[in-house]
Chains A and B, each alone.
Chain A
Amino acid sequence: MPAYLDRRNNFGRSPAGGFQRLSFAGSATEYFGIWIVNILLTIVTFGIYSAWAKVRRNRYFYGNTVLLGRGFEYHAKGGQILIGRLIVFAYLIFYNVVLTVMPLAGLVIGLLFFFFVPWLLTRGLRFSARVTSYRNVRFDFVGRTGGAFLAFIVGPVLAALTLGILAPLASRWSYRYIGNNLRYGRKPFATDPSLGAIYKTWLPSAAMILLGLLIIGVIIAINITAMAPLMDDPDAISDELQASIGVLTVFIYVLIFAVFGTASLFYRAGVRNVAWSATTFDGKHRLLSDLSRFRYTWIAVSNFVVTLVTLGLMRPWAAVRMATYVNEHTAVRFEGEVGEIFSAIEQEGSAVGAEFMDIEGFDFGF
């Protein structure tokens, strides 16, 4: 008897008021095979297989994401994704040709694209939602382009212009946009993360970046004062000095990458906790996310290092490790008898097959 059937036995007997955690049933060894075959076939087919590779990867990760003993499902077909990719690819070639031939016209097209992106993102989100199902019922996404423009263009631009001070506002917009427009079997999700809570989780990251920049500034200052006497005489710029300046430049570059990477991971985990925990399904079932920000950051950073050191070969292990951790810290609390809830959920007719009108967009995942 497979474990999956055993787990099914707890179905319908959820502890009243208790949170049901998600789990991840995949394994690194199993995914390794899928991953390497995906890469190999993608190379052999000059990239064409990459669309089918994505389908297999997502079917693996969705299918092993288990809630109440049942996995999620990913229904996209390789052909659909290939068409979307070809369109994006053709656009990129067109854009680059125009940019080399007429630099100024290229700028205009780039600006147009800027307004076109929200529309694409909306279509992409809708596609992703509609090709995802749980217990034979599909998700749907009903967001409009205007909301996407606010959440994915205005928000990030504001956050960048204010050096991250308004980043929580942007996070709130994007989570609200996704969370309030997601549907499952005609029933809505709703989310309203409070700005204050996001700012509270933003503070440590802001402090991290400030401290990091301060340390980097001190290192640069020390080095410049040490090198200044050597700079007076150009003939004295020896190869050693050149080399040490080179090493220093690389070191500072890596340091900046590390500081901003760590701070943004820390922030991402915190915001996810706030936003998911402020989300309900059908007005009464509560969602929960309780990632430890330290643990999440540690897993992401060590995954990255291990992947690099093993030239990518440990990537499958890293991906499974992260999926396992995130799933185990995501939960739903159902109000009432789970069996009854799920025997009443019917699929929205329009959501089925309608994804053929959409093209696969940018990945957001749920």
Chain B
Amino acid sequence: MASDNPIIALGEWHPAGSSRSVPSRLAEAGERLTVHDDAGAELSNGKLSAVEISPRVGAVPRRITFPDGSLFETSDNAAIDRFLTRKGRGREGIIHRMERFHPRLIAFVAAAILLGTLIYRLALPALVEVAVAVTPPVVPRIMSSSTLEALDRTVLGDSELDEARRGRVLEGFRAIAAFSGRGKEDFTLNFRKGGAIGPNAFALPDGTLILTDELVELAGNDTEMIVGVLAHEIGHVELKHSLRQIYRAAGVAALIMLIAGDIGSGAEDVLVQGGGLLSLSYSRSAEAAADRHSVELMSKAGRDPTAIARFFQLIEMKLEDHSETSLFSTHPGTPERRKAILDLAAELRAQP
């Protein structure tokens, strides 16, 4: 009689695809598992290798699915674990054993924090460097040409500067570009009417520089100041800031997406916003690096390295109506920038 077999666990049995349940017992018969009801009649059986036993999660009931689609469910997890161990399948429960509430979880917390920090501090910057290094030069070229095209179609207009003024700026620009790490032919300067952008100068990753008429007007007769600003933009290009910025943002987003798991929707929002703030601080350090680059390039070219400091002074004077938003923007405070530039210029003068 089959019911003499050693009983493994008590539980409920369901026919395939039905919610009808029968109180029953699971038993072992050689290499087979059987289910009997309380009267001892066999409900189902199957070879151990063909029976699917669900992995343990906490104290959630175990599901044992037979080849005929019927299901035996039991909350006696410990009995199933003992049975599996006896059959040499104890390794299946390794994840659950790691999850047990135990002092070693403190070590897991420490390891998770440590690894997370290491990834953010070391792996992410390293990955960004690798990505920048393997990016073929064609990518920044395509990016830049399409960005310029998009800008030209939307906000920028044709430059209205007179030739003489444009010539003076160009001459200064060529002089400093010749001293840059990449050489003169890697940089092109475009004059545009800024329109909504206003007085501005920016660099696209392939070395295309854009200078708005409004900025030239703002500078008045001080061409050197404009050249200093252009040297700053050349710094952005040479240090590949925009590519790094793109890769960094993508990396941070991927980290949050992959690792966060279950942290609650509110906390997730905070992380994403925090990531945005962190990238602001990154762009502030990029600006400072480009400032230093401007000073160095200008003194290499034998021009006035403090020219860009005059530009910041001008901004402070002329754009006083620029409300507090500019204070929380991507750029460091202008007074401290000016001071850093003057300090560095003095330092460079001291060492002939």
Contacts and interface: CB of A to CB of B under 8 A. Distances in A.
Given A56-B95, A307-B267, A135 B112 contact: no
A33 B263 CA distance: 14
Majority SS at the chain A contact face: helix
Given A63-B60, A71-B61, A96-B250, A38 B261 contact: yes
Interface in A19-53: 25-26, 29-44, 46-47, 50, 53
Given A2-B75, A43-B259, A57-B262, A101 B139 contact: yes
Interface in B1-23: 10, 12, 14, 17-21
B108 A26 contact: no
B240 to A, nearest CB: 14
B320 A234 contact: yes
Contact of A261 (B71, B109, B266): B266
A229 to B, nearest CB: 14
B18 A136 contact: yes
A308 interface: yes
A260 to B, nearest CB: 11
A249 interface: yes
Given A33-B101, A63-B58, A40 B261 contact: no
Interface in A41-76: 41-44, 46-47, 50, 53-54, 56-57, 59-60, 63-64, 71, 73
B41 interface: no
A133 to B, nearest CB: 9
A257 B269 CA distance: 10
Contacts of A94: none
B168 interface: no
Interface stretch (A150-158, A160-168, A207-215, A345-353): A345-353
B19 A36 contact: no
B75 A135 contact: no
A103 B150 contact: yes
Contacts of B162: none
Contact of B119 (A26, A43, A246, A308): A43
B147 A39 contact: no
A344 B18 CA distance: 8
Contact of B17 (A34, A104, A346): A346
A149 B10 CA distance: 48
Contacts of A136: 14, 17-19, 21, 71, 73
B261 A42 contact: yes
Interface in B100-119: 100-102, 105, 108-109, 111-112, 115-116, 119
A349 B17 contact: yes
Nearest to B335: A239
Nearest to B255: A47
A226 interface: no
A161 B12 CA distance: 53
Q: Size range of the interface on A?
A: 35 or more
B50 interface: no
A308 B270 contact: yes
A319 interface: yes
B59 interface: yes
A4 interface: yes
Contacts of B126: none
Interface string A78-121: 00000000000000000010001111100000000000000000
Contact of B19 (A40, A53, A135): A135
A263 to B, nearest CB: 14
A102 B146 contact: yes
B112 A36 contact: yes
Interface in B255-282: 258-259, 261-264, 266-267, 269-270
Nearest to B316: A234
A252 to B, nearest CB: 11
A30 B101 contact: yes
Nearest to B95: A37
Contacts of B57: 34, 56, 59-60, 63
A315 B71 contact: no
A185 B17 CA distance: 9
18 contacts: A5-B10, A25-B59, A32-B101, A35-B262, A37-B95, A42-B259, A50-B258, A57-B262, A60-B57, A63-B60, A64-B59, A137-B18, A185-B19, A231-B320, A303-B264, A304-B266, A307-B264, A313-B109
Interface of B: 10, 12, 14, 17-21, 57-61, 63, 71, 73, 75-76, 95, 98-102, 105, 108-109, 111-112, 115-116, 119, 139, 142-143, 146-147, 150, 246, 250, 254, 258-259, 261-264, 266-267, 269-270, 316-317, 320, 324, 327-328, 333
Given A41-B95, A347-B18, 8 more contacts: A44-B115, A101-B143, A101-B146, A185-B19, A234-B320, A257-B269, A307-B263, A307-B266
